Amino acid sequence: MKIIRAKDYTEMSRKAANIISAQVIMKPNCVLGLATGGTPLGTYAQLIEWYRKGDLDFAEVTTVNLDEYRGISKENPQSYWYFMHQNFFNHINIQPAHVHLPDGANLDAQAVCEGYDSVIHELGGIDLQLLGLGRDGHIGFNEPNVAFELGTHCVELTESTIEANKRFFESKEDVPREAYTMGIKSIMQARKILMVVNGADKADIVKKAFFGPVTPEVPASILQMHPDFILVLDQEAAAQI
Ligand code: F6R
């Protein structure tokens, strides 16, 4: 595990974007695993800026996102498909056919999950997986006590995740109750993992996840075992380590 400290959110985002840029420059046809949520937004904004300057080219890049709500179509502004297009894909030269997210509109969980694992497999696996960190230690929608050996699967969202995600919806009742997510196994198979974490409200979980025991109670703790895991933190998130 490599820890990179940044003074604030902007610096954290720039450092993370630097690592992603290096990946894209070294392997222009790489497979990037991407995340939604608030934390990576600055990273995406920085990558867009460098793309606009002509320093980055996404023409050959393929992406696979971590997760998607179940029972939501991609046209729905609350879908992760929509989020990724609004905040990243619409602003770079990625080919639409190179963008992958689980199909939230398809309620056949088995077909979606098996299909998604096959896509990742056929792409030759993920070169770099970007992650955020949930306040309860979740990664993707892998909530506490998830089995580490799962590939893509369908989950029921926990109360704390529904509570955290309601800021993106009109009301808490509008937050979908289920999601498709890559499993811990899928994430751990990525060749490189990059996690971004900021803010004082994540300081406790950062200490627990990366300086405590590896346990399914804290799903992110498994990342301690990954051979190429980089954690980029701002000062507030690093306050207890
Ligand atoms: C996003 C995802 C989630 C978030 C996590 C942190 O695709 O899978 O695990 O990374 O909930 O979210 P933020 O960054 O909003 O604190």
pLDDT single digits (tens) 181-211: 999 999 999 999 999 999 999 999 999 999 9
Whether the pLDDT of residue 56 is over 90: the answer is yes
Residue 50: both structure tokens together: 């460098």
Counting residues of the chain whose pLDDT is more than 70, the rounded percentage is: 100
Whether the pLDDT of residue 38 is over 90: the answer is yes
Q: Where are the domains of the chain?
A: 2-234
178 among known catalytic residues: no
Ligand 1 centroid–CA 114 distance in Å is: 23
Query: Per CATH, is 2-234 categorized as 3.40.50.1360?
Result: yes
Ligand 1 centroid–CA 119 distance in Å is: 22
117 among known catalytic residues: no
Whether the pLDDT of residue 168 is over 90: the answer is no
Contact present, 69 and 78 (Cβ < 8 Å): yes
Band of residue 229 on the pLDDT scale cut at 50, 70, 90: very high
Counting residues of the chain whose pLDDT is more than 90, the rounded percentage is: 92
- Residue of 103, 127, 136, 234 marked catalytic: 136
Ligand 1 atom at minimal distance to the Cα of residue 40: 14
**Ligand 1 site, CB within 6 A:** 35-39, 66-67, 132-134, 138-141
234 among known catalytic residues: no
Residue 160 is predicted with a pLDDT of: 83
The stretch 213-239 carries a mean pLDDT of 98
Ligand 1 atom at minimal distance to the Cα of residue 202: 16
Ligand 1 centroid–CA 182 distance in Å is: 13
Query: Which residue from 145, 126, 144 is spatially nearest to 33, judged by alpha carbons?
Result: 126
The stretch 214-239 carries a mean pLDDT of 98
201 among known catalytic residues: no
The pTM assigned to this predicted structure is 0.97
Residue 161 is predicted with a pLDDT of: 84
Q: Half-sphere exposure (CA, 13 Å, Cβ side) for 44? A: 23
Whether the pLDDT of residue 111 is over 90: the answer is yes
Whether the pLDDT of residue 45 is over 90: the answer is yes
Whether the pLDDT of residue 15 is over 90: the answer is yes
Residue 165 is predicted with a pLDDT of: 86
Whether the pLDDT of residue 102 is over 90: the answer is yes
Single-letter code of the amino acid located at 207 = K
Between CA 80 and CA 98 the distance in angstroms is 16
Ligand 1 centroid–CA 67 distance in Å is: 10
